[in-house]
Structure 1
């Protein structure tokens, strides 16, 4: 008779809801399994390339001599180089990334000396970099997607940068399949939801049946910032916990701590 082997690890027995877009969630899902948890994918958004690929490439080429080029996410790197595979910047251009994952994506594309915040890996951390403090009259390029927070763009304008935004992709609300909804309905408790985007939380609430949202909202939610925690509480999530940041390790450290408290 086969023996039932129980998972071990700090997330053993937990169902961990992953809201990152499917294309960028693989590493996080593997880490969850490595910690003993069961990852359940419910992407908070679907990422699509900007429709005018030739126009995007032309805009990127025109921006090669900017003083500063800022990539806001690994997806921004992916879609920028999909549109313009031979993209390179002038030697004097400071290339900035919002976090280590974005910096690594740029490095894989052959871009060196990328600057990224070592503490807060978000807009606030990026804006604290010395390279982004004195930009009066300098040309800055922000490479990402429309929507989301405006803090980065607005602050660069307030610092008198000549800002150009290049949207290389856009987000769409997901349509959840019957299989995804069944996985959520059948997921064993405890449920831990990981979120680093207010848009993802809003899309979840709008996109799944009420009884499933009620199940999610009654569980634990780990978010990447105090700002997002306030949005989660306003969205009827009851048990909200704030991680040190949006990086997978930071979200998972917080999730492990939450589950450890449940087991006391």
Structure 2
């Protein structure tokens, strides 16, 4: 991406710890600076139940992976061999390719609604469908598939733990100028971030223009008190940054 503006601008990423690189690279290419403010960390699950559920999910007639983290953590437990695989988005499909699944289907709309609109998941009554995810995530997919009559085998392969902001990160946050965009790609991360901020810092965060990855996240931001919100074309870093450069 070419440099889009001459003056400096900043962005905040709420991605989990250690998962900011691609977004940072996209922001840098657009002439910006990224503050990694991680309110969560990903913890892979490695118990007997997780392994058993994953085997059953991969053996189903279709298997849905809900995030790159789901792919990475599942691959630590066993080789990913499954016949008909569905990815929530392009990032998840790319992660699957890195682990040997080259033919995963991904919707153009990279969210739960996009997955549920796929033709492969319409007439699923009586079918067994695997769902590889993290604890608490993508409840809409599981609930909707069950309502359509599917037997959903859910395998949780990771959990999200709250990560406390460091004093250094908070000091950098305090120094951010008004020309700063907030990226929101997870309602859970947003709640965890807001829950750690005092009143003054919370008010500062709410005042920043915000880029979200879906309409559902826009609604979550409205409920939290954000005012200036734009929905990016997708959760891909280039689309998030393109939307941010219209705001700052």
1:42 maps to which of 34, 37, 40: 37
**CA offsets 1:61-87 (integer angstroms, 9 cap, x no match):** 233321010000000001001122x23
Mapping 1:167-178, distance limit 5 Å: 167-178=156-167
Q: Which has the larger radius of gyration?
A: 1
User: What's the offset of the Cα at 1:146?
Assistant: 1.9
The alpha-carbon distance between structure 1 residues 60 and 211, as it changes in their structure 2 partners (threshold 3 A), is: same
Q: Where does the alignment leave 5 or more consecutive residues of structure 1 unmatched?
A: 1-7, 260-264
The match for 2:14 among 15, 19, 23 is 19
How far apart are the structure 1 equivalents of 2:6 and 2:15?
Answer: 19
- Please say if residues 80 and 99 of structure 2, whose CA atoms lie closer than 8 Å, have aligned partners that are also in contact: no
Q: Describe the SS at the equivalent of 2:229.
A: strand
Report SS of the residue matched to 1:257. coil
Q: Which moved more, 1:160-169 or 1:249-258?
A: 249-258
Q: CA RMSD in A?
A: 1.6
Tell me how far 1:41 sits from its aligned partner.
0.6
Answer yes or no: is the 8 Å Cα contact 1:144–1:167 preserved in 2: yes
TM-score after normalising by structure 2: 0.93
Cα deviation, residue 187, structure 1: 2.1
Greater shift, 214-223 or 57-66, is seen at: 57-66
Structure 2 counterparts to residues 161-172 of structure 1, below 5 A:
161-172=150-161
* Mapped partners of 1:152, 1:171: distance in 2: 19
Residue among 72, 76, 83 paired with 1:82: 76
Shift of 1:114: 0.7
1:97 aligns with 2:87: yes
Q: Alpha-carbon deviation of 1:231?
A: 1.6
* Pair 1:232 & 2:221 matched: yes
Report deviation, 1:111: 1.1
Contact 1:194 1:251 in 2 (8 A): yes
Q: 1:188 to 1:148 in 2, by over 3 A?
A: same
TM-score, normalising length from structure 1? 0.88
Cα offset, 1:58, TM superposition: 2.8
Which string of whole-angstrom CA distances, capped at 9 and with x for unpartnered residues, describes residues 243-262 of structure 1?
22322222111101122xxx
Counterpart Cα distance in 2 of 1:179 and 1:11? 28
1:123 aligned to 94, 97, 112, which one? 112
Aligned to 2:5: 10
